[in-house]
Structure formats: C-alpha cells, structure tokens
Copies of this chain bind each other. A is one copy, B any other.
Amino acid sequence: MGIQDDAAEIRASGWRTLAALHGLIDSALEKALQAEYRLSVVEYTVLEALSRQDGWHMRMQQLARAAALSSSATTRLVSRLEERGLLGRYLCADDRRGIYTELTPQGRELLRVARPLHDATLEATLTGAADVPELAPLVRALHDLEPAPASPAGA
C-alpha cells in the first residue's frame, strides 16, 4: 500500500503546486486588469476568446465552456459586457434558441489596449514565480509546452 500512497501524495503535491501557481497568476491578472480597465480575468478571457473566433461571434454555451463558467454566470457576464457596449447579442437565424454574441468595435479596441498589460503582467508573474523554489519547475514545464491550439478547454 505504500506505493499507492506515494503515488497519491505525488499527485496531491503536484495539484497543490498547480493550484498555487494558478492562484498567483490569477490574482495578479485580476488586480492589474481590474485597476486599469475595470475588467475581471473572466471578462478578459471572454473578450479574448471572442477575438480568436472567425467572425468574432460565439454562442453562449461555447462561451460558457471557453470561460469555464455555468450558463447562468455566462448570461450575466455577457449582460455586463453588453451594458458597457463591448459586445452585442443577436439571435441566430438557423437555431432560434441560440444567441450569438459578437465583439463590438469598442470591445475590440478595449482588448487591443488591455492585451499589453495582460501579457506584461503574465510575464512578470511567471518570472517572479520562477524564483520560488516550489514553483520554478512548473514554470519551466509550462514554458516548454508546445503552443496549444486555440481553445484548450473548448473541446
């Protein structure tokens, strides 16, 4: 049984490291984007996901998966961004249950100006994490990953 325990402890330890690094990056991005552009990380993620779509539009549920949110949370998130004029909703003709969201010019513009801060914060946080002994190996591993396709979670 010792062998099983060891394997479980290795996984648990890896999970703790993953969670720690995730939390570090997430809160750094959250603070930076919130302070400068009044955007949460999920909101940025949604804008960014939309910008990577051909035609810049997506259905609510695709969005929910891309942002790892429930559909109710997605509804409200889209409503918030819509009220700020960053994206628009419109019915889709072929399936009238579905609703497409589309980036407005203002949404694209906000993303354009926010992206440098996002990227710089990400870089700075990763650099900082590389100096923390417990996180460094994971940071290196991340760096060595092959660039993943557009939507890791959207499959």
Contacts and interface: CB of A to CB of B under 8 A. Distances in A.
Given A19-B68, A141-B145, A142-B18, A119 B152 contact: no
Interface string A9-51: 1111111111111111111000000000000000000000000
Interface stretch (A83-91, A97-105, A129-137): A129-137
Given A142-B138, A152-B134, A18 B17 contact: no
Identical copies in the complex: 2
B148 A17 contact: yes
A33 B148 CA distance: 31
A125 to B, nearest CB: 9
- Could you say which interface size class chain A belongs to? 35 or more
B135 A152 contact: yes
A89 to B, nearest CB: 25
A10 B145 CA distance: 8
Can you list the 3 inter-chain pairs with the closest CB atoms, starting with the nearest? A141-B141, A20-B153, A23-B68
